[in-house]
Structure 1
Amino acid sequence: MTTSISSSTLGLGGTSGLSDLYTSATKSLLAQNPGIKHIDAQLTRDGARLSGLGKLALALDDFRTSAGKLSSDKLDMAASSSGKAVGAQLTSKEAAAGTHAVEVKQLAQGQQLASKALPDKGAALGSGSATVIKVQTGTGSNATMTTVRIDDTNNTLDGIAQAMRDAGLDAKVVQDGKGYSLSLTGKTGAANTMSISVAGDPVMTGLLSYGPGVNSAMTQKAAAQDAQFTVDGKALTSSTNKSDTAIAGVSLSLTATGKSDVAVKRDPSAIAANIKDFVGALNAMNTKVAGLKTGDADGDAAIIQVQNQLGGILDAADPKALADMGITRKGNGLVLDEAKLNAAIAADPDKVTQLFGKSGTGLADQFATRITQQMSKGGTLASQAATVQAEVDKLNTQKQQVTDTINRQASLLVQQYASAGTGGSSLFGAGMTKPMSLFDFMA
C-alpha cells in the first residue's frame, strides 16, 4: 500500500503546512530518482508492446472468422437474417441448412459508473501524491484486477481517464450542465460488476471509490446485464451481444430487440461471394498487421513471425491452380480476377470448393488452424503477451517499492525539519537554528 502522510503520522499534532512540505519533498525525491525514470520508460515501452499484441490478435481473429465460414466443403452455404435484430455469419462446418426463429429480448451491456461533476477537467486534484486505483471486475475466482497509478503528472480528470485507458479500461470524461465527470464503463455481462478501491491521496478516494463495503463516491448510471434471447423458442443468455453456439456453425450478432428469421441454405452464387470476402479479409488483415510495426525490434518480432507463418501457407499453395481461378499472389496478399473466378466456378465448382474449403487441407482451414495455434497457449502471440505482462508486473512491483521508500524518506525529512529549530533533534548539532528550507536537508 502506498504510504501517505498526515499530522498524526508525523507525530506533530495539527502542525500547519507539514502535509504540503511532505508533498513537495516527495515530488523532489521522485524527480531526482533515476530508478523511477528508468522504470517508467520501460513501462511505457512494454505498454506499447502489449497494445500492439492486442491489436494484432484482433486483426487475426477478424480474419479467422472470415476463413472459418469457407472451411468444411460448404463454400456454397450462406446465412442471412430477415430483420435488424440479428446479424448472421457462417463460422464452421457444423452449419446445416434450415431456418431458425430468433427473438432478442434484451441486449448485453456493461456497468457504467460516473464521478461527481467538477468545474474543470484539467484542474489538478489533490496534492499529486502517489495514488493506486484498483478496479476489480467480477467476483470470486473469476475476478480480474486492473491497477492504475496516479501522481502529480496526471492528477486531473483528463489524466485519470487517460491512465485508465492506458491500463485497458473504458474511461472518458463527459460533460453535462453540472460540469465534467469521469465515466467508466465495464465489460458487458451481469457477472462483470466493478468495485474500485483507492489508496493514497484522500481526494482521489473521495472521487473514485465504489463498491460494497465502501463509502462509494461514484454512482451507477447503468447496471451490468446479459443479453437475453430465444432461438426456436429456447431461452438463452450471453454475456456479450454475440453467440457462436446458439445455432451450430453460425455466429449471431445481436443488434437490437425484436424478432428475425435466420436462414442457412445452399446457394451456388455464394461460392464466388465467399471467396471474394476471403481475399478481401486476407488483404485487410495483412494491411493491419504491417501497420502495427513500430521499429522496436523486440516488439516487431512477433509480428514478423506471424507474417512468416501465414505467408508460408500461400508459399505452399499451387500457384497455377490459384491462377486458373483468377487469383494471383501479391506479397502476403492476393489479387482477384472475378470474371475468371466465375468462369472457373461454372466449369468445375467442386474443384474450387476443394482448393478453398476442403476440411484440413483447404486454404481457409489452413489459415484458421494456424491462427488458432498462434493465439492459443504456447503459440506466438500468447507466449509473447505472457512474457511482456510478466515484465510489466515485475516493473510495477519495483516501482511501488521505490515509491514507498521515497515516501518514508520524505516523512523522515519533514519530521527532522519540524524538530530542528526546537532543540528536539540532534541531527543538526546543538544551538543550530532551523534552516531556511526543508530542501537544505536534501542537498
Structure 2
Amino acid sequence: MATSTGTISTSAGPLDVSTLVSQLISAESQSQLTPLTTQASSYNTLISAYGNLKSALSTYQSAVKGLTEASFSSQKSSVNNAGTGTNLTTDPFTADVNSDDSTKIVAQKIQSAGIASGTTFNAGDSIAIKIGTNSPVFVTLQANATLSGVRDAINAASAGVTASVVTDGSGDHLVLESNTGGTANTIKVTANNSLSGFAYDPSGSTPSTMTQTQAPRDATKAASGTYSVSVSQLAQTQKLSSAGITPGTTFENGLLAIKTGTGSTAIIKPATNTLQGVRDAINSSDAGVNATIVSDGTNDHLVITAKDSGAANTIKITGTGNYSVFSFDPSGSVTSPNVATGQTYASGSLSLKVGDTTVAINPTDLNNSGAIDLNDVMTSINNANAGVTASISNDGTNDHLVLTPTGSSATSAVSLTGAGDYSGLSMGAMGQLLKAQDAKLSIDGVAVTSPSNKVENVISGVTLNLAKVTTSADNFTLNISNDTSGITTAANTFVSAYNTLAKTISDLTKQTPSTTLGESTNSSPLASESSVQTILSQLRNTMFSSVDGGNGISTLSDIGISFQKDGTLALDATKLSTAATNNFAGIANLFSATDPDTTNTTSSKNGIVTKLQTLMDSLLSDSGLIATKTNGLQASLKINQDRQTAVQTRLSNMKDAYTNQFNQLNVTLASMQATQSYLTQQLANLPKVGS
C-alpha cells in the first residue's frame, strides 16, 4: 500500500488537497463501491424476508401437525340421570372416549420355533421380508452368524420390522414385529437354506415354524350408543394398621414375610430395629405395599397399604419373634402357634388387646375337668365380650386358638400376650382399615367387576372413571356419539392457520403502485421471488387435491371450505355441519387418511393434512426450497462482501496516491509562487528608464 508523504494542508500551496482528494475518492466510490453496498443491502433484505417466511411456514407446520386424526374423528360422552327423587347421585362416573387399548392400532408380531443356543446360520444364505404392499427387502448373511447375528442383520437392513431374540424353556426365538401397525402391514418372509425355518406366509400352502403371536389390528372408534350404567361398589385398596406401639419400641428378633395378591413373598429383615426401620425396609422391598407411620398422639401405628386395588390384591403378613405384632391373615383372624392336644395351664396370665383397649383374661376350670385347658381359655375370652370371638381349630396334629374381631371391633388390631404357662398363646395381628375389593357395576344389565375404578375394555373404546356408588333412585345413561363440534373446531383451526400464513406471504410479496407521477412502484422484499409463488402453488394444489375413500366427500369444497378472491380460505359452517351429520367418517378420511404405502406421499389415498405435513417437512428441511434459497443468498452476500473489501483496499491505495501527487504539486506551485513574487519584487526595484 502506498503511504502518504505529504501533509494535506491548504497552507502548503494554493491547492486545497483535502477537498480535491475527497472529491476524487467520492467519485470513485460512487462508481465502484456504491453498487456493491446497494446489492448487499438487497441480499440482506431478501435473507431477512426469507427468514420471516420460514418462521411463518414453521408456525403453519406446527398448526398442521396439531391436527391429528382424532381432531377430525373425535367422539364425546355425556352422562344423564333420569332418576326421580330429591337425593339423586351427582357425577358418579365420567367416561373417556377412545382412551383404552381396544381402539388402538396394533402391529403384527411373529415368532420362530425354539432354536438351540449357539446354532449357526451360514454365510451367503438370505431372507426376504415384505411388509404389506411394499417391495421386499433382502438380507444376506455376510458371514456365519448366530441367531443374534441374524437379528442384527435384519435390523441393519431397515426391512420394515424390528427383530429381537427371546428365550424360554424351548430355546431361543427370533421375533419380528412390523414397524407399522394395521392389517395392511402384515409380514411375509421368504428364506433359503439355513434360514428357511424363518419363512412365513399364512396364505401359502407350505407349513411354517414361524407363528403369529400378535395379530395386526386397525385403529377403530368407540362403539357409539346409549348405555344404562349403575355402580354398586367402588374398587378399594386394602389398608392395614398395627395396634398402638409405644414410641422408642425396638424389635430385636424375627422376620417379616409379606405377600400381596398373586405376587411372590417378600422376606424382610429391617436394617435397624426401630419402627422407622421396619417401615423403611418394607418400602425398599418389592412386596407390593407402601408403609407409613401414623401417630395418634400417644402411640405410633404402622400403616401398610397395597399398591393396587382390587379383591385379588389382599395382603398376607407373617411375622416371627418381635415382628409377630405385624402379622395379618386375609381372613381377618389371628391364629396362635401350635398347642398340643390336651395342653393344660396351671399358672400365668393373659392380656387381650383389641384396638387400644386392653382386657385381662383370667381363665378358670369352667368345664370341671380338674385343670384349665384350651377350651377354658376360649370360653373365658368369649365371656369377656372384648370385641373378638375365640374358637379352636386343629391342623390334624396340633390345636390352635383362633381370635376373630367382630362387631365394631371388626377392623381393629388384635393381640394376646401370655405369661407363664400361657406364653405359648401369644399372638398378634394388624387391623384392617380398608378391605381389598373390586368395583362392581352393571352395564345394560350385565354385571361387571373391575379391580380398579378405572374400568377399561368393557364398552369398546370407552374408559369409565368411577367416583361414587349409585342408588336405586338413580337411572344413569351414558351416551357415546360423534363430536360434530370437534370437527367444526378442527376445520376452523385448519382455515385460520392457512389464512394467517397467506396474510404473511401477501405482506411479503405485495406491490403498491405509487400515487406520485414518475415514482416507481413500492414493492415488498419477496414481490419478485418466484420461489414464493412456487410454495403458494404447492400449498393450493395440495389443499384441493382429491382424496379417495370418503364415500362422497373427496375435496375440501365438499365440506364447505373454498378459496376467496384474496387468496384466503372461507368456511361454510352450514355445509360443514350437514356433511358432519351425514358422513362423519368421510370428513375424517378427507383430512387424515393414510396410504399404507408410506413411500407414495402424493397418493390420493392420503388425506389433506397428511399431504400437508409431508409438504411442510419437505419445504422446511435442510435441503428444502427455503434453505436452498437462503443458502444461495448468503453465498452471494459473501462474494459481495469480498468484493467490497477489495474495492475499499483499492480506494485506500488510490487516496494515498492522490494525496502524495497533490502534495508534491502543491509544493511545486508554492515554489513557483515564491519565485514569481521574488521576480516581481526585483523587477519593481529596477531603475525606471529615463529617470
State whether TM-score is above 0.5.
no
Larger Rg: 2
TM-score of the aligned structures, taking structure 1 as reference length = 0.45
Bigger proportion of residues as helix = 1
TM-score of the aligned structures, taking structure 2 as reference length = 0.30
